[in-house]
Structures are given as structure tokens and as C-alpha cells.
Amino acid sequence: MLEADFVIIGSGSAGSAMAYRLSEDGKHSVIVIEFGGSDIGPLIQMPSALSIPLNMSLYDWGFASEPEPHLGGRVLATPRGKVIGGSSSINGMVYVRGHARDFDHWAEQGATGWGFADVLPYFKRMENANGGEDGWRGKSGPLHMQRGSRTNPLYGAFVEAGRQAGFELTDDYNGAKQEGFGPMEQTIHGGRRWSAASAYLRPALRRKNVNLVKGFARRVIIENQRATGVEIEARRQIQIIKARREVIIAASSINSPKILMLSGIGPAAHLRENGVQMVADRPGVGRNLQDHMELYIQQESTKPITLNSVLNPFSKALIGAQWLFFKSGLGATNHFEAAAFVRSQAGVDYPDVQYHFIPAAVRYDGKAAAKAHGFQAHVGPMRSKSRGSVTLRSPDPLSKPVIRFNYMSHPDDWTEFRHCIRLTREIFGQAAFDAYRGKEISPGSHVQSDDDLDAFIRDHAESAYHPCGTCKMGRTDDAMSVVDPECRVIGVDGLRVADSSIFPRVTNGNLNAPSIMTGEKAADHILGRTPLTPSNQEPWINPRWQASDR
């Protein structure tokens, strides 16, 4: 019989962090259940290969949305990591904490103790920041992050164009001031991807009190309203892993609600439809699904200095060899080395638009490169009002859940995206790009009217792969809350959820950092420790926010 004090489902960003912290003092045993295999291969470890594992069934669960009604019925891929390290092993390696106001909003919505002052000490505890603003960043944590070398002149042109357009500059968007144009941070260390597996799980597995069990988590075993273990399928056999103290679900915003529902926790009518015996009626399970969407705005480059020149097999082989032997060169970066967070209009008090900039014109999934030299900005609104859901397709644990993002279902989404396109054109139109700017590849300069822009958005908006919110954290008297502010599932003892599914609202930017922070903070709650002392540092808010967008 396999048993431990704590059983964690999922070895991803939050799960790895919890395995590390819960086992740290040696007093407690931990079992981590992971269905995926090893993350050792070069396709995961080499930063510039990031688009490859994203499309591989070996590393990805292979989820997809239902046809999206507001996007012309398109079905959008929803990659989630099925590998040691979870999605931190197949993501874009971009490190963004989120804005201070995001977390204050969580606290206002009922996630008491998760305001910015409360979470900042956890971000500092986890970080080993190479660079960044003094006093705002952690320097001795397990998670390494760095800035790219920004040797390509187009990165500098992007930041300078932002300044010329009247926007702020920021040297550290993870410090006091998120707003502005500046360098992007990467979870890369020593030329390799630095995932949650590298930072947390592998060091934890060196301890005698931590074990990794390969298996498919079918459901949580609940006896007399208390979680006592996890039913898994391993080597074609059903096994039970017993938890002496607690079961913690950290299986992603797609799999965590699915496992809860299969365990009898969720909307009563939906459980009945699927023949699942109800343990706790929680209507919020699987609701509140959110994501970020983005567009690629692409411009031809008149100078042959972009990455499009190295997309041929010979150049790729050279880059691969340099990375393999020296962990350096173009293979050692994700190419996201310049970024911006800006406000869309006067009256918005903190950034609601994010930019990733790369000196290439190519799709994120690597499937289609432009014919000419080019550069592109990935741009999208940060706080869409659209909400979707994750529901059971059937009571069979092996069947994929039904994912409905309901993208672009709120009229504001369209207004915000049109603004994003026009703003990007304004930035690319600045003098800083004069020496490089060719014609617009995408959408194309002929696409100007609201109707034409909407058609482009409908056909080309993509997920930024930041799903969250499906097991919302909040007050216990809020019917839509799934977990309380200590991540305990409401109505069941000995069971918690801690991953991006508990976010009340999506944070600014990429979700890897707040997901790891969630695991770090949840570990203190699980162990019954007093949370780290809240910070008294004040984030920068643009003094002109009521009058101007810049």
C-alpha cells in the first residue's frame, strides 16, 4: 500500500513547489502523482525549441476547446503539460508576477490574505532574480530568472518606439513599476529551461520523504466527507494511494475541476447527469474559466537581421550544436526579450494590455513563418469579461473534459482588441522603426475599418495559453467559491486545490509565476504555519492615469 502524509496530484508549477516546501523540514512524507514522463530531452530543455513540445502528445494532454461561437466556430488548442514539471516544462518561459492590483482585487473578491502585500513575500521567497529592482526581488530562491541579451537591434527599437509614442519605460516590470516598455524576464538558467521541475521537484526528490508515482489520477477517495486517498490507474491496474493528512489537487485549471467532479464535488445537476454520486454541491466547480487571447501583428523588415534568416535546416543544425555543446547562442533564449504593459485608455488605473516582442515573423506554435524578413508583437487585452466553463464529457475518467472558453462573448473584448491593433500600428510607425519598417504583413494595411478588424480578430485571435479560474478561491458563503482562502475545498475535509484554477481573476501577463507563488503560499497554509509577514512596499501607479493612457 502506497501512503504518505500528503498526496499531491500533479507535478506542475504549484505541485512541484508544494512538494519541495511540504517536505523541507523532513517531518512529513509526500507522494506526487504524475501521469506524464520525463522532461530530460533537448526539445524541452532547449529554450528556443519551445514550440515543439507544445504540439507533442508525449508532453501535452491534447485538450481543445469546443467550437467557439464568437470566433466563427473555430476550435482552439488548449495545451497543458503532461510531463514532469507540468506546463512549466512546455511554456514560453516568460516570467511575470502579475500586477499588484490583481492580487488586491483577489482579496476584495473574498480571497482574504492574498492581497499584494501578502503575496509579495512569497514571490521574493521563490525568486533567484538575475537583475531586477533592489528590494523588490528575491535573490536566493530556487527559481532562477534572467533577461535576454537583446543583441538584435529590433528589441531596442521596440522599447524606443514605446518611449517615442509617449509611454513609460520600466527596467523591471516585476518590481515596483509594471507599466511601460522594457526587457522581458525568462525562466532560463545556464542556457536551459528552468522549470518548476528543475527548481523544486528534482531537489525535493533527493529527499527520502518524497516519492514520485507515475499514474493517472481517476478520482479522490472521500469517506464521511473526508478525503482519504487518490484512486489512480497505473500499469493497467487501479490502485489507491492513501493520504494520512491531506490530498492536494494541483492538476491544472482543466484537470483540477474534472477530478473534483469525478470525485463528487461540483454542480449537483451536472453530477447527476453523469451518474456521479454527490459528495458536495459546489456550483462553482468548472465555472469562471478565463484566459488571455492575443494577436500577432507582423511587419516586414527591410534589413535581413531577423530570425527568419535562421529558420532553414542548416542554420537550425548549427544553433542546435552550439546549444548542445555550450548552452549558448540563439538556442539558449526563448526570443521574448522585450515587453510592454500599457493602459488602453484614461481612467484605467493599471495596465490592461500586454506585449511580447520578437525579431521574427512566425507563429507561436512554429507552424508558419512569413516568407520575408519580419518582426512581430504579440498583443492582447489582460482583463476580458468573458467567462467559460470546464464540464464532464462522461463519467469515464479517461474521456477529455468539455472546454468552453466563450472567447469574445463580451462586447468590450472587441473594442479592446481593435484598440490593441491600432496601438501596435502606432508603435511600429514611430521613428525608431524607420530604418527597419517594410510593409505590414498581418493584418495588412488594407484592414482598417472596425468591421475589417473584427473579421481579422475572429479569424486570427489565439489563446495565449493562460487558462485559470475554474475552482475559484473566495468566501465560504459565496456559492461560486470552491476553495476558501487557505485553499481548502469547501464542504470536504482533508482536501485542497492549489494551482491556477483557484485564481478569482486572471492576472496580468503569463501565469507561471503566480501559479508557483500559489504553491509556495498554499504549503504554509497546509502546514499550519503563520504566513510570511506582509510587505509594506507600495507599487507605482501612473499619476496621470485618470487623464491619459500614457
**440 Cβ partners below 8 Å, 6+ apart?**
297, 298, 299, 300, 425, 428
353 is in an annotated binding site: no
Does 99 appear as a known binding residue? no
* 5 labeled binding residue: yes
Nearby residues of 382 by Cβ (< 8 Å), 6 or more positions away = 292, 351, 352, 353, 354, 506, 508, 509
Q: Is 6 annotated as a binding residue?
A: yes
The answer to whether the annotation marks 182 as part of a ligand binding site is: no
Which of 45, 173, 54 minimizes the C-alpha distance to 463?
54
Question: Looking up cell 528575491, which residue turns up?
Answer: 138
32 belongs to an annotated ligand binding site: yes
Active-site residue 466, yes or no?
Answer: yes
Residue 8 marked as a ligand binder: yes
**232 is known to lie in a ligand binding site:** no
Grid cell digits, residue 413: 473584448
Name the β-bridge partners of 37: 83
User: Which position has the grid cell 502579475?
Assistant: 98
Q: Is 30 part of any known ligand binding site?
A: yes
Nearest to 253 by CA among 483, 547, 531, 485: 483
Residue 15 known to bind ligand? yes
Distance CA 34, CA 22 (A): 17
3-state secondary structure of 457: helix
Q: Does the annotation place 48 within a ligand binding site?
A: no
Is position 25 annotated in a ligand binding site? yes
CA distance 81 to 88: 7
Single-letter code of the amino acid located at 280: A
| Residue 92 marked ligand-binding | yes
Q: Is 94 annotated as a binding residue?
A: yes
Any known ligand binding at 297?
no
What is the SS3 assignment for 293-327? EEEEEEEEECCCCCHHHHCCHHHHHHHHHHHHHHC
- Sign of the CA dihedral running 9, 531, 104, 511: negative
Q: How far apart are CA 26 and CA 73, in angstroms?
A: 52
Q: How far is the C-alpha of 183 from the C-alpha of 356, rounded, in Å?
A: 10
Does 55 count as an annotated binding residue?
Answer: no
18 marked among binding-site residues:
yes
Distance CA 290, CA 387 (A): 6
Q: Is 7 annotated as a binding residue?
A: yes
22 is in an annotated binding site: yes
Residue 91 assigned as binding residue: yes
- Does the annotation place 26 within a ligand binding site? yes
- Asked whether residue 242 is marked as a ligand-binding residue, the answer is no
Beta strand pairing status for 185-186 and 143-147?
Answer: antiparallel
Catalytic residue among 99, 378, 466, 525: 466
Contact between residue 423 and residue 352 where contact means Cβ atoms under 8 Å apart: no
29 assigned to a ligand binding site: yes
Q: Could you give the residue ranges of the DSSP H alpha helices within 46-129?
A: 100-108, 116-126
Residue 140 burial (CB < 10 Å; 0-12/13-18/19+)? exposed
| Residue 180 is assigned to a ligand binding site | no
- Report the DSSP pairing between strands 293-301 and 216-223: unpaired
**Residue 397 three-state SS:** coil
23 annotated to bind ligand: yes
Could you list the residues known to form a binding site for FAD, using ranges: 5-34, 83, 91-94
Could you list the residues known to form a binding site, using ranges: 5-34, 83, 91-94
Which residues are known catalytic residues? 466
